Amino acid sequence: MSYQGFRSLLPKKDLYSFLVLALILVVVLPLSLDIFRLNLVGKYLTYAFVAVGLVLCWGYGGILSLGQGVFFGLGGYAMAMFLKLEASDPESTKIQSTPGIPDFMDWNQITELPFFWEPFYSFGFTLLAIILLPTILGYIIGVAMFKRRVGGVYFAIITQALAAILTILIIGQQGYTGGVNGMTDLRTLHGWDIRTDNAKYVFYFVCVFLLFVCLFIAQFIRKSKLGRLLVAMRDKEDRVRFSGYDVSNFKIFVFCVGAIFAAIGGAMFTLQVGFMSPTLVGIVPSIEMVIFCAVGGRLSIIGAVYGALLVNFAKTSFSESFPELWLFAMGGLFIAVVMAFPNGLAGLYNTYAAPKVDAFFAKLFGKTPVSHSSPPTPLPSKPTNTKTESVTLPQGVVHEQ
Amino acid sequence: MNKTLLSSFHVSPRTQGAGMKTWKKCLLTLAASLVFGNAQAADVNTTGLAVTDTTVKVGILHSVTGTMSISETGSVQAEKLAIDQINAMGGVLGRKIEYIQEDGASDWPTFAEKSKKLLVNDKVAAVFGCWTSASRKAVLPIFEQYNGMLYYPTFYEGLEQSPNVIYTGQEATQQIIAGIDWVTKTKGAKSFYLLGSDYIWPRTSNKIARKHIEKLGLSVVGEEYYPLGHTQFNSVINKIKLKKPDVIYAIVVGGSNVAFYKQLKAAGIDMTKEKPLVLTISVTEDEILGIGGENMVGAYAAMKYFQSLPNENNKKFVADFKAKYGKDIVIGDVTQAAYLGPWLWKAAVEKAGSFDIDKVRAASPGIELTTAPEGYVKVHPNHHLWSKTRIGHARTDGQYDVVFETKDLIEPDPFPKGYQ
């Protein structure tokens, strides 16, 4: 990529925030936290994948999905199935009535491995499944909904129903899925013990690396023509359609991207936490993920990462200090965010901290500070009333003020 | 020997005055220094657990928020009561127990996170906690990896025997076989309808029940499962009316219980007439609080403990429990099993003369408790408890009358041959 191309993909202020985040995740946290806490941060970061996907879908595309847990679960379960098969070799399961199959199948009187489990012996297939399963499902949902111009609240409700359906399916088919217990006691990856401290360090850095890959993809989409089209669609779908674009294709695309991000997060979750259960698939975790995104600021992909980190960090520390009252503290935090700073952490940062940070970097590099006069596309109060920012559509179609 | 010395100084905490307290403290310190004079922290703790010369830290890990909190609160209360009582007697190896409480929030990943925190960060010497099988399955690999000790209070499906868990509730065969034997012998039952919530415990339990019923040459006329939280039982009740079984064997859990027993009553099945008779292994006094005694009256329950058990240990336990948590509180089977946890751990530590997990584990089999509210219990080498099974008959006030008790302690058998 040429320097020019790079600069347009990552303008100075975005570059700074990427650098600060990288510094925190790669240097500061690993040096200052012990492995137990770092592993927790790794777990929080897996939710950040979902939140980044939601920034694209919801913040930019205006598609509010309350069912991202479905994709998180697909990725997580695919990875868990592979690890569970490896942990269920005939030697370590010889106490069962049918050795060589996962323990929960044995408890449910299943005597041979179901056919759809077979491919998960292959690690390559598993990785492929983590990407392809959510893409296919996302595509089907997308085609079914967006081609029929189902959107807004209706779409949110349908995704929520999907989360409920998948949970019920997993719990009901416990012989094949482990039911309420989920898939537990995952041990090794190609013979390498995933429970050791070393493995935790490796997974943490893999997780950070993948997160940055996703962040760059998100940034690329944001800065591309597609990103501007998404904003235009969010603010005035009909005008985009009348300009000759097939709106639903863009929506399907960005929804699938969000789904893949969520699935990668899910797979990393399984690796770092060591199990997968339906409590991460249902409606409640799906809504929680939207909250991470809202706290971070739904228009900021970097903010989404901070949002996921902050909310989960607060959850852990509140619940450690006040085991009986912590939910009230969490509730208070959410109300405060919505009431006081609706644009989330990113909104706060842009208003108060950004000028100072830029001045600091400018001093560091001896250049002029970047102007923050136009914060990243604020959300209009009403979706139909777009006075906020003129969106320049490609092909010279100008969105008038 | 240490145990007897200490307990000879035991004065019931509620009968002593303030002056007595200081005096007792002096004596206790004296006794402790005599007995453990040279047992410094390093000697009784070679693996770096959170043990000082005067204190030892343990963890309590239950859900105090979320859907499971109704069930698990009783366990937390019982564990705290036991810890208070042990501290009032001078603690464990002369060290006061300090507990760190964590909230599992009815969420299995949270249980895993918190158990790791307790073991890795806080280095607790033991953890009392978990309730559902799902939460236990989530923390089990962590306890095994970091070599912790978990005291798990709930009656459960068996099929598990971890070196890092002491199961203080009954495993499935203890609860089920005695109950079915009783109902066939005493009530002449010939046919059974099995019913349960759809997850591992009811399914495994019914599998054992079915095998046992078939072994006795009797018949199972129906077996059905409903998702957790299910509230529409009309269709199954109609089927039951059609099949006319002698016994409805119900393992419905949680909120579904309320709907099930109310709808049973509304459908005209009067449980006091015992046609059909209702036998459950999942409804303790805690659940009746939600169901309502008037909807439950006449049902039978098979478990190891009922609040109304008439022995002296239990009378003292119920009195102490009510003194601490109010007179309206009810105590169910699991609450009592949770109360045993700290006492079993104390006995094992004192037998081992050390807080080291490996030594406590080695000392655990054969530990006896004569002061248990349910009566005498003993730890089996398979880490489960020998215990009796009782049959309770539900009264309108939400309590059970104990109508039967097995003569001998039942051996725990988590991997029952011929029942899998």
Domain span including residue B297: 172-303+390-405
| A346 within 8 A of A300, measured Cβ to Cβ | yes
Residues B278 and B320 both lie in one domain: no
Look at A324 and B103 and tell me if their CB atoms are within 8 Å: yes
Residue B269 has φ and ψ, to the nearest 5°, of: -90, 105
pTM here is: 0.83
pLDDT in tens, B118-133: 999 999 999 999 998 8
- Residues 6 or more apart whose Cβ sits within 8 Å of residue A144: none
Residues B210 and B318 both lie in one domain: no
Chain B residues whose CB is inside 8 A of the A97 CB are 420
Angle at A346 between CA A344 and CA A350, to 5 degrees: 125
**How far apart are the C-alpha atoms of B50 and B56, rounded to whole Å?**
6
DSSP class of A204: H
pLDDT attached to residue A355:
80
- Count how many Cα atoms sit within 13 Å of the Cα of residue B330 in the half-sphere of its side chain: 21
> Locate tokens 């019913």: which residue?
B195
Confidence of residue A367 (pLDDT cuts 50, 70, 90): low
Look at B109 and A277 and tell me if their CB atoms are within 8 Å: yes
Residue A371 has pLDDT above 60, yes or no: no
* Residue to substitute from A107, A174, A284, interface B, most B β-carbons within 10 A: A107
Residues B77 and B127 both lie in one domain: yes
**How far apart are the C-alpha atoms of B31 and B314, rounded to whole Å?**
29
Confidence of residue B8 (pLDDT cuts 50, 70, 90): very low
**How far apart are the C-alpha atoms of B300 and B405, rounded to whole Å?**
13
Chain A residues whose CB is inside 8 A of the B105 CB are 319, 327
**How far apart are the C-alpha atoms of B197 and A91, rounded to whole Å?**
33
Q: How many domains does the structure of chain B reveal?
A: 2
Interface of B with A (CB under 8 A): 64-65, 101-103, 105, 107-110, 112-114, 116-117, 120-121, 132-134, 137-138, 140-142, 145, 157, 159, 198-200, 203-204, 207, 227-228, 415, 420
Residue type for B362, please? A
Look at A172 and B227 and tell me if their CB atoms are within 8 Å: yes
pLDDT higher at A257 or A345: A257
**How far apart are the C-alpha atoms of A134 and A260, rounded to whole Å?**
6
Residue A175 has φ and ψ, to the nearest 5°, of: -65, -30
Residues B101 and B189 both lie in one domain: no
- Count how many Cα atoms sit within 13 Å of the Cα of residue B45 in the half-sphere of its side chain: 21
pLDDT attached to residue A370:
52
Look at A277 and B207 and tell me if their CB atoms are within 8 Å: no
Is residue B373, in this structure, part of any structural domain at all?
yes
pLDDT in tens, A115-143: 999 999 999 999 999 999 999 999 999 99
DSSP class of A388: S
Encoding tokens for residue A340?
Answer: 């006081």
pLDDT in tens, B247-295: 999 999 887 888 999 999 999 999 999 989 999 999 999 889 889 999 9
Handedness of CA A232, A238, A241, A243 (dihedral sign): negative
pLDDT attached to residue B77:
96
Residue B191's alpha-carbon distances to A242, B179, B187, in angstroms, are 71, 14, 11
Point out the residue among A95, A181, A273 whose CB comes nearest to the CB of B134. Answer: A181
Is residue B34, in this structure, part of any structural domain at all?
yes
Point out the residue among B113, B132, B207 whose CB comes nearest to the CB of A40. Answer: B113
Confidence of residue A386 (pLDDT cuts 50, 70, 90): very low
Cis peptide preceding B276, ω within 30 of 0: yes
**How far apart are the C-alpha atoms of B144 and B163, rounded to whole Å?**
8
**How far apart are the C-alpha atoms of B276 and B298, rounded to whole Å?**
11
Chain A residues whose CB is inside 8 A of the B108 CB are 181-182, 275, 277, 279
Residues B201 and B97 both lie in one domain: no
Is residue B16, in this structure, part of any structural domain at all?
yes
The stretch A86-111 carries a mean pLDDT of 85
Look at A323 and B134 and tell me if their CB atoms are within 8 Å: no
Q: Looking at the complex, does the CB of residue A83 fall below 8 Å from at least one CB of chain B?
A: no
**How far apart are the C-alpha atoms of B216 and B336, rounded to whole Å?**
32
pLDDT attached to residue A43:
95
Is residue B274, in this structure, part of any structural domain at all?
yes
Question: Where along chain A do its domains lie?
Answer: 34-326
End-to-end CA gap in chain B: 43
Residue A323 has pLDDT above 70, yes or no: yes
Is residue B192, in this structure, part of any structural domain at all?
yes
Which value, to the nearest 10 degrees, does the dihedral of the CA atoms of residues B186, B192, B198, B201 take? 40
Residue B347 has pLDDT above 90, yes or no: yes
Q: Looking at the complex, does the CB of residue A187 fall below 8 Å from at least one CB of chain B?
A: yes
Look at B112 and A324 and tell me if their CB atoms are within 8 Å: no
Across the strands, what pairs with B128?
B60, B151
- Residues 6 or more apart whose Cβ sits within 8 Å of residue B343: B82, B86, B369, B371, B372
Residue A366 has pLDDT above 80, yes or no: no
pLDDT in tens, A226-235: 999 999 999 9
**How far apart are the C-alpha atoms of B203 and B195, rounded to whole Å?**
9
Chain A residues whose CB is inside 8 A of the B141 CB are 184-187, 195, 274-275
Look at A107 and B141 and tell me if their CB atoms are within 8 Å: no
DSSP class of A392: B
pLDDT attached to residue B341:
97
pLDDT attached to residue B199:
81
Secondary structure of residue A114 in the 3-state scheme: coil
Which value, to the nearest 10 degrees, does the dihedral of the CA atoms of residues B123, B124, B129, B132 take? 20
Residues B77 and B88 both lie in one domain: yes
Question: A371-375, B170-174, B319-323: lowest mean pLDDT where?
Answer: A371-375
pLDDT attached to residue A390:
43
The stretch B154-173 carries a mean pLDDT of 94
Confidence of residue A257 (pLDDT cuts 50, 70, 90): very high
**How far apart are the C-alpha atoms of A2 and A44, rounded to whole Å?**
35
| A287 within 8 A of A66, measured Cβ to Cβ | yes
pLDDT attached to residue B379:
96
Q: What percent of chain A has pLDDT over 90?
A: 58
Look at B227 and A171 and tell me if their CB atoms are within 8 Å: yes
ipTM above 0.90, yes or no: no
Tell me how far apart the 2 most distant CA atoms of chain B are, in Å. Answer: 72
Residue type for B104, please? G
pLDDT attached to residue A334:
81
pLDDT attached to residue A401:
36
Residues B139 and B188 both lie in one domain: no
For residue B206, what is the domain's CATH number? 3.40.50.2300
Is residue B416, in this structure, part of any structural domain at all?
no
Residues B216 and B295 both lie in one domain: yes
Residue B196 has pLDDT above 80, yes or no: yes
The answer for B62, left when phi > 0, alpha when psi is -120 to 50, beta otherwise, is beta
Residue type for B19, please? G
Residue B3 has pLDDT above 80, yes or no: no
Secondary structure of residue B156 in the 3-state scheme: strand
What chain B residue is nearest to A270 in terms of C-alpha separation? B109
Query: Which H helix or E strand runs over B323?
Result: helix B312-325
- Residues 6 or more apart whose Cβ sits within 8 Å of residue A216: none
Is residue B126, in this structure, part of any structural domain at all?
yes
Task: Count the helices and strands in chain A (H runs, E runs).
Answer: 18, 2
Handedness of CA B211, B216, B217, B221 (dihedral sign): negative
The stretch B384-388 carries a mean pLDDT of 96
Residue B21 has pLDDT above 80, yes or no: no
Residues B180 and B280 both lie in one domain: yes
Residue B52 has pLDDT above 50, yes or no: yes
* Residue to substitute from A35, A41, A94, A279, interface B, most B β-carbons within 10 A: A279
- Average pLDDT of chain B is 89
Neighbours of B266 (CB within 10 A): 11
Chain B residues whose CB is inside 8 A of the A186 CB are 141
